[in-house]
Amino acid sequence: MSKKYSNRLVNATEMVNNAKKKKYAVGHFNINNLEWTKALLEAAQSSKTPIIIGASEGAIKYMGGYKVVAQMTNALLEELDINVPVALHLDHGQSVESAKKAIDAGFSSVMFDGSHLGFEENMQKTNEVLEYAKLHEVSVEAEIGSIGGEEDGVIGDGELGDPEEAKQITDLGINILAAGIGNIHGQYPENWKGLSFDTLEKISKAANKPMVLHGGSGIPQEQVKKAIKLGISKINVNTECQLAFAEATKKYVQEGKVDINKGFDPRKLLQPGAQAIKDTFDELTNWFGCKGKA
C-alpha cells in the first residue's frame, strides 16, 4: 500500500464514518481558484472543522490541471499550517481515467460518477476505480440514480436511486454513496418538490454506508437536518459559495471601491468575495453539525 497524496491530506473515510456514527454531515466545498481554496482552508482551521475540498473536472481544467490543484492545495496546507482533517476530492469524475489521473496527481479521495451509464457498466467501472484507489489508500464515492440539473456539462433529470442497486454497489467496498433523492445541482426552482425522504431512508438502510447529498446549495435547513438524521454524512456545496462570492464582489465594484486607493489590485478586489466564502462556510457547517468537530 502506498499513498501518493501528502501527509497533511487525509482520505475522506474516517471523516464520513465519524459523521454517520454521530449524526452530522461533513461539508464538501468545491473550489474554483487559489482564493477559494485559501478561504475555505482558513475558515476550516479557525473553526476547527474537518473539510472535504472538492474539484470538478471543469474546475480542474480551469485551474490548470490535476497536478496544479493537488500541489496548490498541499502547499497551502503546509504554508498555512493547516492541521484539521482535509481531503482533496475529485467531484463527478466521468471516467476511470480521470479518477486515476486525480489519484496519480495526489488527490486523497475520488468520485466516479457512472450514473449516466447502464448499471452493470457503472458497477464494473466503479470496481476498476476502487481497485486502483485501494493501492493508494484513496477513498471512493460512487453514484446511482442521477442528480438533477447540470454541472460541467453533465445533465441529470433527477432519477431516484434504487435501494437494490445501492446495496450492490456498496458491496463492492466503496466508502461513500451518492444517490438521486430529488436533489439537483445549481439553484432550486420555485416548483421543486423537495427531497424524497422515503427514497433516502430505503437506500440508507440498504447501503449502510455514509451517503452524500449533492446539490446541497439552497435546500431548506429543515430538510438538510432531516436528511442527516436519515443517513446523509457528506453535503456538497458549490453554488451557494459562488453566489456569495459574486454578490460581495459586485457590491465592492458598485460602491466604487475599485477606484479608491488602488482598489483594482486583485488582492483587494477579491478580498470581499473570499470573506463571503468564509461566512458561507461558517453558516453552513453550523447547519451540518460538523463545525468544531476536528
Please pick, among 81, 91, 162, 171, the residue that the annotation labels catalytic.
91
Q: What gap in Å lies between CA 139 and CA 281, rounded to an integer?
A: 23
91 catalytic, yes or no?
yes
Cell numbers linked to 62: 480551469
Catalytic residues: 91
